[in-house]
Structure 1
């Protein structure tokens, strides 16, 4: 006969040292935040350093690089906050030999 296994085996996991852990840097939201944040910083620098009258005339007297970079930095910050507040929990593999 088969044995009924409890649905929550946290006490057994804690004794074995196999506790659930966070994904951390391998969470896709952190990778997306890093990429968007990097490009945002590049655009902010370009908006502050390479702002010419000719470029502003093309965009209707708006510093497009600066505003786009600031927007991207805010989105990257939102992704980081989201990843910190709602982390992905990785459950340890079950070591069940029953079929």
Structure 2
């Protein structure tokens, strides 16, 4: 059985707005990772460790962006706005209807 490897946020689906991609963005928000770290090639064990760090960073704010202090809230907004723009440029569609 081979270990699963993360493709990295820049190769992730939906411009990185997947659960793993959002975890990388949140790690950037909290300064756990530098913004040039895309986690390309990371195995799932390493991603699990990152998840635990990100989860702990969110705990004081009840995992709600609205409870972040102003500087972190602005960083969160900026980073997610950038990723949403990338996702839209790559064809990401926010329409959740069942009609094609």
Same fold by TM-score, threshold 0.5 exceeded?
A: no
Structure 1 or 2: more helix by fraction: 1
Structure 1 or 2: more strand by fraction: 1
TM-score by length of 2: 0.30
TM-score by length of 1: 0.31
- Larger RCO, structures 1/2 (Cα 8 Å, 6+ apart): 1
